[in-house]
């Protein structure tokens, strides 16, 4: 459990764009220890258990949130170069909130590239309607002030339905949560999780274009 604020829920960093559309900010960090790797990832999962498409906030062209791939990749031949340029810009990436579970995961890989049993997958469900939006001050989350409002996205933590019910806990059958976890594991490899560029490149290539 993380980012819990009493009376509000579990809060995750989000953003409004120039079209007043909200999205949730993803996060990726990797830690190497010898031949093992741990990827700490915050990303969205759709109802099928698929990692959702990455967006970025195109402020320069005034487009707001747009799919990352079609907006920054000029051609298949320049894919690697274009992704490198984006990564070097250190711009954040986002994912849409509607029909999306938030997955906060720590994925551990052994030296053979297998995901180990001590990996952690915690799921969160955004609160319905406007209840999920908690406005914050510009720059409060550490972002550079780009002129657009910051916000936090309030979520319920997903727990198996045998847990004791309480506020900001979303009761979900264990089989469904294990299904999400299993589908995520099938998508991730040690190579995909070796750095942010590899992870985003995978998401762009796997994007359904919607």
pLDDT tens figures, 9-46: 889 999 989 898 999 999 999 999 998 999 999 999 99
Q: How many domains in the chain?
A: 1
Question: Which residue is listed with tokens 């030296």?
Answer: 111
Contact in structure between 164 and 4 (CB atoms under 8 Å):
no
Q: pLDDT band for 142, please (50, 70, 90 cuts).
A: very low
The torsion angles phi and psi of 205, rounded to 5 degrees, stand at -70, -30
Q: Is the pLDDT of residue 147 over 90?
A: no
Q: Domain limits at 122?
A: 4-206
Q: What is the mean pLDDT of residues 141-147?
A: 51
Question: Strand ranges (DSSP E) for the chain?
Answer: 4-5, 9-16, 22-25, 27-33, 36-45, 55-58, 64-67, 94-95, 101-109, 120-126, 133-136, 150-160, 169-172
Q: Which of 127, 119, 110, 112 is nearest to 181 (CA)?
A: 119
Give SS3 for 59. Answer: coil
| Averaged pLDDT of the chain | 88
pTM: 0.89
Query: Which two tokens mark 182?
Result: 């299993």
Q: What is the mean pLDDT of residues 68-82?
A: 96
Q: Which residue has the higher pLDDT, 43 or 60?
A: 43
**Highest mean pLDDT of the ranges 1-10, 135-144, 173-182:** 173-182
């Amino acid at each position: 459990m993380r980012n819990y604020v009493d009376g509000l829920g579990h809060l995750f960093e989000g953003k409004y764009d120039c079209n007043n559309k909200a999205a949730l900010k993803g996060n990726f960090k990797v830690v190497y220890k010898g031949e093992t790797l741990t990827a700490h990832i915050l990303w969205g999962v759709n109802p099928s258990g698929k990692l959702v498409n990455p967006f970025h906030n195109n402020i320069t062209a005034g487009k707001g949130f747009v799919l990352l791939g079609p907006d920054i990749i000029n051609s298949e031949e320049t894919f690697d170069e274009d992704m490198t340029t984006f990564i070097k810009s250190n711009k954040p990436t986002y994912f849409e909130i509607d029909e999306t579970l938030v997955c906060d995961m720590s994925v551990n890989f052994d030296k053979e590239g297998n995901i180990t049993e001590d990996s952690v997958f915690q799921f969160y469900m955004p609160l319905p309607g406007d209840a999920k939006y908690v406005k914050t001050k510009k720059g409060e989350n550490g972002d550079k002030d780009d002129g657009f409002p910051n916000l936090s996205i309030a979520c319920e933590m997903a727990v198996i339905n045998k847990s004791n019910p309480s506020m900001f806990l979303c009761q979900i059958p264990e089989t469904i949560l294990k299904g999400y976890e299993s589908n995520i594991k099938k998508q991730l490899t040690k190579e995909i999780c070796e750095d942010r560029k590899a992870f985003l490149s995978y998401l762009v290539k796997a994007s359904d274009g919607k």
